[in-house]
């Protein structure tokens, strides 16, 4: 069995409904059980040019799941399928999106493939990932980076609990 931390983000469309449906679709995957869903945070869009307060804001959070049926690569493929089912388009780097599901951590594994890097290479500096992760797992650690609690204290992007 593997335990995975997945971050969700949505800033287009009916964000609440999209996130709720995505949680249900994750729970319905074969061999998957949801262990925890974090509180949801409202966050300003971070773009290539920095924080963009004119762009629609994001809902962000994390979900922890256990799977008896997926390798990390299979899990990422399942996340991409769910994103696609919610109309996710990849038009612009760090552009607006209906749904983003990132694989943040799987059992503390370190993987560096072209299609999959674990831990997620930017999670350690994103309060919009670290804060909800901390909420559901105060003892979490990112391999090579340290304790999520310490990383959260150093991350300065804005997160507002809903």
Ligand X SMILES: Nc1nc2c(c(=O)[nH]1)N=C(CO)CN2
- In the list 30, 50, 53, 115, the residue contacting ligand ATP (rule: CB under 6 A) is 115
Nearer to ligand X, 44 or 119 (CB): 44
CB of 120 within 8 A of CB of 103? Answer: yes
- Does position 119 interact with ligand X (CB under 6 A)? The reply is no
- In the list 12, 32, 58, 137, the residue contacting ligand X (rule: CB under 6 A) is 58
Q: Which stretch binds ligand ATP (CB under 6 A): 16-24, 40-48, 55-63, 94-102?
A: 94-102
CB of 11 within 8 A of CB of 56? Answer: yes
Helix, strand, or coil here: 44?
coil
Residues that bind ligand ATP (CB under 6 A): 76, 90, 94, 100, 102-103, 115-118, 120, 122
């Amino acid at each position: 069995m593997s335990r995975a931390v997945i971050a969700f983000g949505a800033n287009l469309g009916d964000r609440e409904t999209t996130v709720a449906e995505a949680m249900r679709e994750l729970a319905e995957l074969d061999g998957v059980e949801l262990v925890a869903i974090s509180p949801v945070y409202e966050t300003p869009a971070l773009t290539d040019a920095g924080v963009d307060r004119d762009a629609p804001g994001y809902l962000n959070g994390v979900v922890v799941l256990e799977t008896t049926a997926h390798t990390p690569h299979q899990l990422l493929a399942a996340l991409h399928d769910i994103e696609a089912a919610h109309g996710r388009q990849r038009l612009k780097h760090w552009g607006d999106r209906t749904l983003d599901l990132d694989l943040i951590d799987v059992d503390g594994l370190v993987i560096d493939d072209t299609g999959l890097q674990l831990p997620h290479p930017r999670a350690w500096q994103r309060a919009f990932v670290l804060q909800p992760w901390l909420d559901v797992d105060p003892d979490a650690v990112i391999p090579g980076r340290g304790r999520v609690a310490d990383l959260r204290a150093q991350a300065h992007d804005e997160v507002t609990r809903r």
